[in-house]
Structure 1
Amino acid sequence: MPPELHFILLLVLRMAIAAAFVVSASIITERSGPVIGALVATLPISAGPSYVFLALDHDAAFIAQGALSSLPVNAATIILGLTYVVLAQRHSLLVSCGAAVGVWIVLASIIRMFDWTLTAGLAVNLVAFGICIPLLARYRHVKMPLVTRRWYDIPFRASLVATLVAIVVSTSGWVGPRVSGVIALYPIVFTSMMVILHPRIGGPPTAAVLANSAWGLLGFGMAIAVLHVGALNFGSAIGLSLALATCITWNLTLWWNGRRKRMASA
């Protein structure tokens, strides 16, 4: 088989696997409400497949370095969320989503310019989440209207994630781990939620889903740090496994804590 055809077929297979993953997660999110949906949305739905496929093409040092660049990008994502949540209370999808994505691109462009250490990345996350989580708290509790899924919703999300995987995998060899780590963490799930839900149920309910995602996103940042340390010391496979376990454990803890509080108040 010619090398070019082998690369194309392998790339298509990877895109299909990523798309199948996001379709499954999307169905769970839509059927579980804003709180559980937010926790599912902060699992590594798009970044996970991107990093798995990067690990198949590159060594553990590449993955560890990429994770260092991804860590401060996670802080940019929570700022994207805050920007959208505030603007969505009164403005259209175009204004709210456009401004949020614009803020993320500016911050990611700045992040790309620096060589990050684990300490610096964690510090940026602590500052960003320390500011954003209290500001997002007032927007979390909104009555959610019934969402009717349309035929193109899940294919749209799947195509976005598949495209992201294709970009990360096909460009990683010449852009290097720093840029790959930035691209891998583009908030595809958040963006697709804005685009799909805002016109249908309005800005405030859509914003509530993103506002509820703040604590889950904090755990995702911890998972990125675990990925860096794990890949650096034990290899990519163990690093990725530990990062996924961190995300799942953190989100299950959040879910259990919320359930316990609801039962106590009842």
Structure 2
Amino acid sequence: MSPDLTFILILGLRMAITAAFVVTASVITERSGPVIGALVATLPISAGPSYVFLALDHDADFIAEGALASLPINAATIFLGLTYVVLAQRRSALVSCAVALAVWIALASVIRMFQWTLLAGLIANAVTFAICVPLLQGYRHVKMPLITRRWYDVPLRAGLVATLVATVVTTSGWVGPRISGIIALFPIVFTSLMLILHPRIGGPATAAVIANGAWGLMGFGIAVAVLHLAALRFGSTVALSLALMTCIGWNLGLWWWGRRKLVRQ
């Protein structure tokens, strides 16, 4: 088998695995309501596989540097969410999503211009959450209506995430770890939820899912910091495992805290 054909087959397999993972997670999101849906959506169901595939092709130093670039991008994703949530109350899915993505791209372009340290990335996330979480609070509690599935839902979601994985894998060798880290955190899950849910259940209900995701993204930022530190000390495999455990543990903690508040009320 030729090297080119082998590369194409492996790339196709990676795209298919990741797409199946994201589609499954987004279906759970649709059926579980905005709170549980947000906890699922903020798990590393897109960035995680991207980093796994990067780790298969590159060493631990590459992963650590990529994670360092990803950390401030997590803050940009929070601003994307805030932009969408505000616009979705009155605007169409296309307008709300397009403007939110424009904000993310603009912020990512600015972030790319600087050489970030771990401390600077953590501070950027802390300041962003301090600003955005209170602003999102009033949009979190909306009842999600019954969802009717359309024929293009699965192909759209699968196509979006497969394209992202293909872009990360095929370009990582020549764009380097910093750009790879930025691309890996492109908000593909949030974007697919916006484009699919908004026309069917309305802007406010879709915005509630995104608004509830703010706390989950906080844990995701911590996981990216863990990935950076652990990759330098223990290698990619251990680092990716610790980052995943951090995300899952954080979101389970959020779920437990939410249940405890309901019991008290």
Give your verdict on TM over 0.5. yes
Q: Give the secondary-structure state (helix, strand or coil) at the position aligned to 1:212.
A: helix
Following superposition, the deviation at residue 6 of structure 1 comes to 0.9
- Find the aligned partners of 1:117 and 1:231 in 2 and give their Cα distance: 15
Identical aligned residues as a percent: 77
Aligned to 1:106: 106
Q: In the aligned structure 2, how far is the partner of 1:15 from the partner of 1:132?
A: 33
Match of 1:119 in 2: 119
1:128 positional shift: 0.4
Separation (CA, whole Å) in 2 of partners of 1:236 and 1:22: 22
Conserved 8 A contact 1:93-1:195: yes
Shift of 1:13: 0.8
1:31 aligned partner, one-letter code? R
For residues 147 and 127 of structure 1, what CA distance do their matches in structure 2 show? 36
| 8 Å contact from structure 2 (residues 50, 169) kept in 1 | yes
Find out whether 1:181 has 2:185 as its counterpart: no
Any conservation in 1 of the 2:66–2:177 contact (CA below 8 Å)?
Answer: yes
The answer to whether the 8 A contact 1:220-1:247 is kept is yes
- Judge which range, 61-70 or 146-155, deviates more: 146-155
Counterparts of 1:27 and 1:85 in 2: how far apart (Å)? 21
Given the two structures, how large is their TM-score scaled by the length of structure 1? 0.98
What are the superposed Cα offsets for residues 41-65 of structure 1, whole Å, 9 maximum, x if unpaired? 0000110010000000000000000
Determine whether 1:31 maps to 2:27: no
Q: Which residues of structure 1 form unaligned runs of 5+? A: none
Q: Deviations over 1:149-195 (max 9, x none)?
A: 22321221122111101000000000000000000000001001110
Q: After superposition, where does 1:58-207 map in structure 2 within 5 Å? A: 58-207=58-207
Residue of structure 1 equivalent to 2:12:
12
Whether contact under 8 Å (1:26, 1:154) holds in the other structure is: no
Tell me which stretches of 4 or more aligned residues in structure 1 moved more than 2 Å: none
Question: How many residues end up aligned between the 2 structures?
Answer: 265
Does the 8 A contact of 1:60 with 1:236 survive in 2?
yes
* SS of aligned partner of 2:150: coil
Q: Secondary structure at the match of 1:148?
A: coil
In structure 1, give the amino acid aligned to 2:136: L
Query: 2:34 is matched by which residue type in structure 1?
Result: P
